[in-house]
Every structure is written in structure tokens, then in C-alpha cells.
Amino acid sequence: MTVAVEKPEQPQKPEPPLKTDAVPPAAASGARTRKVSRGTVVAAIVVVWLVLFALLRGRQTLTLAAADLTDLHRWINDLNDSIGANRNSNPLFLYFFNEIRLVIDTLVTFVQELISQPSVGRPLPQIGWLGVVGIVGYVSWAAGNWRVALLAVAGFTFFGLQGLWQESMDTLALTVSAVLVALLFAIPLGVWAGLSDRFNRIVTPFLDFMQTMPTFVYLAPLTLFFLIGGASATIATVIYASPPAIRITAHAIRSVPETTVEAADSLGATRRQALLKVLLPMSKRTVVMGVNQSIMAALAMVTIAALIDAPGLGKTVMQALESLDVGTAFNAGLAIVVMAIVLDRVTTAASARQEAARHATGRFATWRKPLLAAGGVVAAVLVYMSHTYVWAAEFPGEGATGSSIVKAADTTTTWVQDSFSGLTNAFRDAISYGLLNPFQSLLTDSPWWLVAAVLIALGVVLGGWRAGAVAAVCVALLVGTGLWSDAMTTLASTLVATVLVMVLGMVFGVWMGRSLLVDRVLRPSLDAAQVMPPFVYLVPFLALFGATRFTAIVAAIVYAAPVAIKIIADGVRAVPEATVEAATSAGCNTWQIITKVQLPMSRSALTLATNQGLIYVLSMVVVGGLVGAGALGYDVVAGFAQGQLYGKGLAAGFAIVLLGVMFDRITQAAARRVSA
């Protein structure tokens, strides 16, 4: 008997697809087009630029000599003369600009007579040095803690030991006046922006624009309407210091949990009650941080405002820089740094005070109010003594400590120049001849229309059509200012400095992002570096490199590097740990993890760091006009110093704004495209 065994069915092989000559394989599987990367397009644009530069070098460069003026510059000069002649007869000035100037000038004069300048009928201010130190110590203790109070007392006493008491108090008077006026407008506008989406959308572009403009730019237009002096400086400072407070206040209001607001509404609270009882109390700490940023911005502007005859430490630094007196500039710059640190620490401690008080326990917390009351009495007694007695009103001594600092700084400068001039000159020449000069020649010796086309094309490729349109408008207006060549020189210095900033940012940012220990060590120094006004950075590098454009570039690098480093560090740290572990398990070494995983996944942070680095560098490069940087910065400074160049200086300020807007729009658009 035979048993039939059935064979299992074999799976049939799929028939191969029919081949046709009419349809190519790519089309049969769906049409796929290879997308050209943006990097390739940028490289192609640069190659075309270099080829055309070689063929057309030196033609149609729109060069303008330092003493030459265009019709626009002459028209601005005539406008300035006309405004000066009709200032006391034109109704717009009689009832608007002159009144604003009078109010601000009255406020500034009042504060100055209170703490820095002789008041009516007195050879000294109403409150002398001992009273000011007492008030500062008491306010610092009440707003922060006893450590901050000791720092404040020591810092303000140091101003007197330097022989810079009156200059320091003039700077403090302008800063306080400007911050008071700025907060009077900024806090309500910030609350409005926090409550209204529509108003927030309207005000945000203006805030972006105001924060993009370097400090230099605010000064020239305001002198046209408010003349030079403390009033114009204060008004410029108010405008410059307002955006941080508005923006941070709006953010604080919007950060209050929605559930908390809904709970207040359910209890029948009106909109006013919800604002006063819920939103503002819960936003207090963040709002105080906004006040801190406004104070830092105000101090930076007040020092720069020495260009329009604002009194204070900035004027001392500026005069010393103009005469290359490094010792005096260092002494006054040190006072500015100390004031910035004290004001920053006090306001930072005030922002943390509420939370610290909530968790405070023990005898000290119980006795704090009686101790504060006793401290208030002591401060009042010191104020009375400084008002009554000369020894408590006028700081004793002749600033022996300051003289020692000046001599030490001069001696150190001479030693550094004698000992390291070969090294510093070699470093300067390597950067100048190897990088800066060729790039500057490429920008200034190319036909203006070629550079314009390249800038617009890069705007389109990197940021999209809107960024390209902004670049086109900015380029057209730059040509209209008559300062194309100077603008390209400033552009070259800015871009070279930004490249070096990004190199430092990636090296130290990656290091900090990968190591918490390194972050804890470096971040306090980076935070402290961001507190210092830009004026101060010029002094040490003036000692190293002399009055050259390279001094401004190195100062710009050091000024902009901290913000770029911190942004990149935060971006690297935000890369998911699981992704890094997966790359490690796949056999990647440290270099491969950084270059193939962490940096590519931090592209948005890198683009943002580039944006902020460009803006910071631009603001510092133009300040470098004080130490021989030339180009637009020099044009602005010369416009303040020489009346016939006022129109050119004002046009240079506008050109700086255009460069800043173009940089900001392109890099922000590129950041959005990377994040999308």
C-alpha cells in the first residue's frame, strides 16, 4: 500500500517588473529630485564673486574721502543749522521738544544736586559721601542681604579712594534718572503687552529694532532735537534701557499659570484685582530681573553718552582714550566695572529676596524688621551728618589709591609693550594680513553692485525671500547714505570678528555643554563679563595693541564671546542624553560625537549664537572709532567733534542701523529655517 505524500506548496516568486524603454527606473519608482544644499549654493555664490572681483577690481567702489560730503550730508547740516536757528520760535520745539528737555533736565539737575554737584547756596551736594554710602548700604541690605550691603559699601567707598567720587556720582545720577523715567513707561507697557496678544504683536518688532541698534546710534539724532548735554544723554538712555524692561515684564505676566488666573476669575475678581492681586505679585521676581537689565543697559549708555558731553566716568574714559592715557582710562574704567557689579548684585539679590524671605526661619528672620528699622535710623543720621559737616560731605584725601592705580597701569602697559610687542604685533599682523585685509579688500574693492547682489543672494539663500527683500532695502539705503565704502570696511571687521567669536563659542560652549564642572567654573565669569559696559573693553587692548582697528576687533571678540559661548553650551546640553549614549554604543569616539551628533543637533543654537554675536560685535566695532578703528565708528565720532561733519556722522549712524537690521533679519530667518 502506497501512501501519497503531498508536497508543500512552494511560495511563488514575484514576477520581475516589466522593463520598458519609455519610462526610466527613477520615474517608475516615483520621481525624485536631488535637492541642492544651501551650503553648495553659498559656495557657488562666493566662487562667482571671486571670479568677478578678479576681473572688475577697483571699479565703481563708491569711495568717499574722510573730509568729503555728499548732498545728503550737506542737507542734514543745513537742517541742523535751521533747527538751531528756529529752536526758540518753532511751535513744535517751543511746546514739545523744549518742554521734554526742560522736564528731563530738571530731574537730572535735581538728582545731581542731591548727590554729586553743588546745589544752590551750597558749595557741596545736599547729601555728601558718607550719607550716600549709608543710603546705599541700607537699601542693599533691605533689598538683598548683608553680604550685598557690604559689597555696595566697599564699592562706593572705593570710588572716593580712587579720586573719582564726583564723576561716579554724576554717572549714578544720570543712570538713576534714566531708569526712573524708563520704568515709568516700560512697566505699564510691559503689563499691557503681557495681557494683550495684539499689542504684544505690535510692540515686539519695535523692541527687536531698538535692541538691534548699537548704543552709538541713539546719540546723533537726539542731539538734533535736544542739543548736547545731560538731558539728551538721559533721553537716549531712557530709550535704550526701556526694551529689556518691557520685554521681561510682558514675559513675566504671560508666565503666570493659567490655572491661577482662572481661579481668581472664578472667585469673582475683576480684571484690575486679578492684575494687582495675582499677576503682578506672582511676576515680581521676574519684573525685578527686567529692572536689573534696564539698569545695566542704562549704565552702558550713560558711559557712551560722554560723546555728547554727558558728565561722569564715561567722559573721563573718553578723554583718556583720545590722549592714549591708558592709566587714567584704566582707573575710570575700573570704577565703571565696580559700579556695574554693585548695581547688578543689588538688583539680582532683590529679585531673589521674596523667595528667600518665604523660606527664612530662626531668630534672624524674626529680628529682621527691628534691625531694618535701626539701620534706617543709622542711615538717616549719616545723611544728616553729610549734609551738615564738611568732613562727612567731601571725601577725605586726594585719591591716593587712584594715583597708585594709574601709575601701576602705566607701568604695566609699558612693560607689556616692551616685553610682548613682538608677540602681540605678530598676532595682530597674522590676523590683519591673513584674514582681515583680504576680506576687507574683497568688500571695498569690488564694484558696489556686485557686493550688493552677493548680500541679497546670501539673504535669500540663508533666510528666504523675506530676508532677501530686507537685505535689498538695506543695501539700497546704504548706497543712499553715501558711505558705502566705510560701511563695507565696518562689515569686514564685523564678520571677521564674528567668525572668531564663533570659533571661541564652539570650543568653550561644547566644553561647557559636555561638562557640568566646567560650566560651573566658567559661567560666573561669563556672566560678570556681560555686566561690563562696552567702553571698558577698549582699555586693556589699547595697552596691548595701541590705537588701531585691531584693538576694536579684539575688544569686540571678548565682548561678544560670552553670550555666544553660553548659547552654544545650552544648545549642546539640550541634546538628548539617549542620543549621545546611542552614538557611544555604536562605537563613536568623542570627536565623532561632537561633530556628528551634538553640533548638528544644536544648529538652531549655533544660528542664534551667530545672530547675537553679530549684534554684539557690531556695537563694539563702531565704539572702536574712539581708538582708531575708522570707518563708520570714526564717522560718528567725527560728526560729534566737528560741526561740518555732523551730517556725515548722522548718516553713518543710520548706516550702522541698516547693517544691524540686515544682520539680524538674515540670521533670525536662518535660525527659524533651521528649527523648522
Beta-carbon count within 10 A of 549 CB: 26
Provide the CB-side half-sphere exposure for 157 (13 A, CA). 10
pLDDT at 32 over 60: no
The DSSP result for 112-176, as a single string, is HHHHTS--TT-SS-SS-HHHHHHHHHHHHHHHS-HHHHHHHHHHHHHHHHTT-HHHHHHHHHHHH
Longest dimension (CA), the chain: 139
pLDDT of residue 359: 55
pLDDT of residue 31: 45
Query: What is the mean predicted confidence (pLDDT) over 387-395?
Result: 89
pLDDT of residue 574: 87
C-alpha cell at 194: 503681557
Q: pLDDT tens-digit profile of 498-540?
A: 999 999 999 999 999 999 999 999 988 888 787 777 778 888 8
pLDDT of residue 27: 47
Query: What is the mean predicted confidence (pLDDT) over 310-329?
Result: 86
> Lowest-confidence range among 215-219, 579-583, 625-629?
625-629
Query: What is the mean predicted confidence (pLDDT) over 156-170?
Result: 93
Q: Determine the Cα–Cα distance for residues 443 and 465; give it in Å rounded to an integer.
A: 23
> Lowest-confidence range among 226-230, 356-360, 560-564?
356-360
Q: Determine the Cα–Cα distance for residues 589 and 307; give it in Å rounded to an integer.
A: 54
Query: What is the mean predicted confidence (pLDDT) over 468-475?
Result: 93
pLDDT of residue 504: 93
Amino acid at 428: R
If you average pLDDT over each of 38-42, 317-321, 475-479, which comes out highest? 475-479
Q: pLDDT tens-digit profile of 209-220?
A: 787 777 777 787
pLDDT at 389 over 80: yes
Q: Determine the Cα–Cα distance for residues 570 and 426; give it in Å rounded to an integer.
A: 35
DSSP 8-state code for residue 600: G
Q: Measured between alpha carbons, how far apart are the two ends of the chain, in Å? A: 76
Q: pLDDT tens-digit profile of 105-129?
A: 999 999 999 999 888 778 889 999 9
| SS3 state at 449 | helix
Q: What angle do CA 574, 578, 579 make, to 5 degrees?
A: 75
| SS3 state at 550 | helix
The string over 232-249, giving b where at least 16 C-beta atoms fall within 10 Å of a residue's C-beta and e elsewhere, is bbbbbbbbbbbbbbbbbb
Please say whether the beta carbons of 311 and 177 come within 8 A.
no
DSSP 8-state code for residue 627: G
Of 612 and 23, which is predicted with more confidence?
612
Q: What are phi and psi of 18, to 5 degrees?
A: -70, 135
pLDDT at 377 over 60: yes
Residues 6 or more apart in contact with residue 639 via CB below 8 angstroms: 220, 645, 646, 647, 648, 649, 650, 652, 653
pLDDT at 441 over 90: yes
Q: Determine the Cα–Cα distance for residues 243 and 512; give it in Å rounded to an integer.
A: 30
- Residue 358: pLDDT band with limits 50, 70, 90: low
Query: What is the mean predicted confidence (pLDDT) over 590-605?
Result: 88
pLDDT of residue 14: 46
pLDDT at 15 over 90: no
Q: Determine the Cα–Cα distance for residues 439 and 623; give it in Å rounded to an integer.
A: 21
Please say whether the beta carbons of 85 and 483 come within 8 A.
no
DSSP 8-state code for residue 96: I
- Residue 354: pLDDT band with limits 50, 70, 90: low
